[in-house]
Amino acid sequence: MVLATLRRFSTLTCPHCGFSERRQMPIDACAFFHECGGCKQLLRPLDGDCCVFCSYGSEPCPPVQAGEAKGR
């Protein structure tokens, strides 16, 4: 997959408080942790997901989009 076709932004929604925020995803890595901007809870990937974007985001992370990592 060509990098230009990867979606770079995802909206993370906290499962604890429902706070949503649009974040830019790293192209070459999975984000294992994210602190919620609402309740400050530390989000971690769900079992079977590679990162917080695959667990709580509107878009899977770029490595999953490119078929390089396991996610959704």
Let me know if 51 is exposed, middle or buried by CB neighbors in 10 A (0-12, 13-18, 19+). Answer: buried
- Banded model confidence at residue 71, pLDDT cuts 50, 70, 90: low
- Banded model confidence at residue 4, pLDDT cuts 50, 70, 90: low
Give the containing element (helix H, strand E) for 11.
strand 9-13
Query: How many residues are given for the chain?
Result: 72
pTM of the predicted model as reported, rounded to 2 decimal places: 0.84
8-63, pLDDT tens digit by residue? Answer: 999 999 999 999 999 999 988 889 999 999 999 999 999 999 999 999 999 999 98
**CB-facing half-sphere around the CA of 2: CA atoms within 13 A:** 2
Question: What's the confidence (pLDDT) of residue 1?
Answer: 43
pLDDT at 3 over 60: no
Task: Fill in the amino acid letter for 14.
Answer: C
